[in-house]
Amino acid sequence: MKNCLLFALLLLPFCAHSQINVADSTVQVIGYWDKNEKHTYDIEYQKLRVKGKDTTVTQTIAYKVDITVVDSTAKSYTIEWKYRDYKITGKSALSDKISKLGEGLTVRFKTDEMGSFAELLNWKDIKKHNDAALKVLQKETKLPPELFKAINKLSTKEAIEANSIKDILQFHTFFGVALKYGEPIENTSEDASRLGNTAVKSEYTLELSEINNEDANYLVKFWQTFNPDDVNAVIGSVLGEYIGNEINGTVIATAMEDYCGGMMHDSGWPIDMFYQRTLEIEAETFLETRSITLE
């Protein structure tokens, strides 16, 4: 299926919707999508734990999404993701039950004219899904009530956009970016949206790593290193996501890094994307990965 799609895309006039400028080795990531265009992607999410030479996969969630461009204007796209075919391994029957609540879920959102994520449209539907998962947790676990109160605070539209659609945000990471081969962009940032209320400083690098003119695709990579002191200021929320155990205040994170890479087709459809978050705590490393692959 992937090869058929790529062959069809290559038959399109290259100059009609070209992101790649061969003359100066630059690209601008833009979504050239048509209304009713539809593609299917395989997504695999994993959590891993590394101690010394031993690596343990603690959880794997695999599923498919059918992505449809339901509307297209001069200034925006409306896109729909439909989730199906969940397969979960590791952890517990409870994790399996919660993950499979996503079966048949539909997420609808808007992007700007470039394809960059703009707004979640049916966030109340996502809230209902999250509420259902929370009820399962409350019924089948002995977690403290304070934890559920904290989770309930993440029920606003802004919180759901930041925390409940991370696969969609990953898919749209690079849209709108302009890059030149051999000239990486390096900068600093301060972000409070995904790591709690405390601002977390970081350094990042964004680069165009490959241009493949014959195949009409290119590879973009992004690295982000977080300030460990700032990370430790919000260590409770970070550990809650990565380890899922009761928080020990004496535990200190020594490093946290993000990586995201995307092989992008000139049409604006990602071919492959990979995300990894690395969190080092004392003598252990906790990894969170997500791959998105065109079927």
pLDDT digits (tens, 9 = 90+) for 197-218: 668 899 999 999 999 999 999 9
- Domain limits of the chain? 17-294
What is the CATH code for 17-294? 2.30.230
Interatomic CA distance for residues 253 and 241, integer angstroms: 14
Interatomic CA distance for residues 15 and 23, integer angstroms: 13
pLDDT in tens, 77-109: 999 999 999 998 876 666 677 776 788 899 999
Which residues 6+ apart lie within 8 Å of 73 measured at CB? none
**In the prediction, which pLDDT does 225 show?**
96
Section 37-65 average pLDDT: 94
Of all residues in the chain, what percent carry a pLDDT higher than 70?
79
User: Which residue's entry shows tokens 């405390």?
Assistant: 198
Question: Cα torsion for 40, 44, 45, 50, to the nearest 10°?
Answer: -160
Average pLDDT, the chain: 84
Interatomic CA distance for residues 67 and 172, integer angstroms: 13
Cα 44 to chain centroid distance, Å, stands at: 11
**In the prediction, which pLDDT does 141 show?**
73
**Are 68 and 38 within 8 A, CB to CB?**
yes
Query: How many CB atoms are closer than 10 A to CB 250?
Result: 6
**In the prediction, which pLDDT does 155 show?**
80
Phi, psi at 124, each rounded to 5°: -70, -30
Cα 237 to chain centroid distance, Å, stands at: 18
What's at 32, amino acid-wise? Y
